Structure 1
Amino acid sequence: MSDIIDVQAIDSEKAQALKTVGWVSYLLHLVVAVGAVIPGAQPGAVLLIVALVIDLVKKSEAEGTWQASHFSWRIRSVVWAGILYVLTAPLWFLFILPGWIAWGLISLWFLYRIVRGMVAMNASQAVESAV
């Protein structure tokens, strides 16, 4: 009888491990997002890159679970924010105020997505996305 594997326990351990990875990633994203919104509190892109790498590496382990949506959500959030920052960067060279406004709005959008994902993660629910 000792040969019997408790599949449910293994699945539960895997789910908990993925949830822990998800929380670490969300917290790294949150530090960056809050830093982007508060002037002078920029923690740097290194934390965001670390979180992105974690998500890219661990995403395949979450396939078929409710947590898969969180990995995609965080990856898409970073990619879209990066694209939007690059597209609006010329505003900084032309007019500082519009550049500041654009980047402020992008940062608020990014912060919203991270908080929304964290709320869904806390409820152990998939996060739904239009983007």
Structure 2
Amino acid sequence: MSEIIDLGERERSLKSLGVVSYLLHTIVAVAAVLPGVQAGVALLLVAIILDLVKKDDAAGTWQASHFSWRIRSVLWAGGLYLLTLPLWLLFLVPGMIAWTLISIWLLYRIIRGWMNLSANRPI
């Protein structure tokens, strides 16, 4: 039998924001390996801005770790995408392989975080 947890309005709002942020991260990770998809960079910026602006609201809650997790994920993935951008531009196949590997890593972090968020657990 599963236990129903009343999170309170603040925590429900933070959890909803977390779902939106994880969804944006998912779109970015998938879009990074699809040729011609330009929404990736814009959504990456939206996701990190949302997390940075709302991070302090989560201080002291179990959700604070999710904000840090998502921010670190975006910073690492963004840095790795930028670092491997010349491979993509100069040598299509190695760039595609690099971005696919980065996206797989980012998807792992998204899935792991989203599963914990859904279970009301810190990451």
TM-score range, shorter chain: 0.7 to 0.9
Question: Relative to structure 1, is the Cα distance of residues 16 and 48 closer, same or farther in structure 2, using a 3 angstrom cutoff?
Answer: same
* TM-fit CA distance, 1:96: 2.6
Question: What is the match of residue 82 of structure 2?
Answer: 86
* TM-fit CA distance, 1:41: 7.1
Is 1:32 the counterpart of 2:36? The answer is no
Identity of aligned residues (%): 59
Correspondent of 2:95 among 81, 92, 99: 99
Q: Distance in 2 between matches of 1:16 and 1:41?
A: 36
Q: Compute the TM-score of the two structures, normalised by the length of structure 1.
A: 0.79
Correspondent of 2:120 among 116, 121, 124: 124
Q: Distance in 2 between matches of 1:20 and 1:101?
A: 33
* Structure of higher CA gyration radius: 1
Question: What is the match of residue 109 of structure 1?
Answer: 105
Q: Distance in 2 between matches of 1:86 and 1:40?
A: 16
Q: Which amino acid aligns with 2:98?
A: A
Q: Distance in 1 between matches of 2:36 and 2:15?
A: 28
* TM-fit CA distance, 1:93: 4.7
- 5+ residue gaps, structure 1, are 1-8
How much is the aligned-residue C-alpha RMSD, in angstroms?
Answer: 1.9
Q: Compute the TM-score of the two structures, normalised by the length of structure 2.
A: 0.84
Question: Relative to structure 1, is the Cα distance of residues 82 and 68 closer, same or farther in structure 2, using a 3 angstrom cutoff?
Answer: same
* TM-fit CA distance, 1:52: 1.1
Question: What is the match of residue 6 of structure 1?
Answer: none
Greater than 4 Å deviation, 4+ residue runs: none
Point out the more displaced range, 89-98 or 74-83: 89-98
Question: Relative to structure 1, is the Cα distance of residues 91 and 31 closer, same or farther in structure 2, using a 3 angstrom cutoff?
Answer: closer
Point out the more displaced range, 75-84 or 88-97: 88-97
> Secondary structure at the residue paired with 1:126?
coil
Question: What is the match of residue 19 of structure 1?
Answer: 15
* TM-fit CA distance, 1:112: 1.3
Correspondent of 2:70 among 69, 74, 79: 74
- 5+ residue gaps, structure 2, are 1-5
Question: What is the match of residue 5 of structure 1?
Answer: none
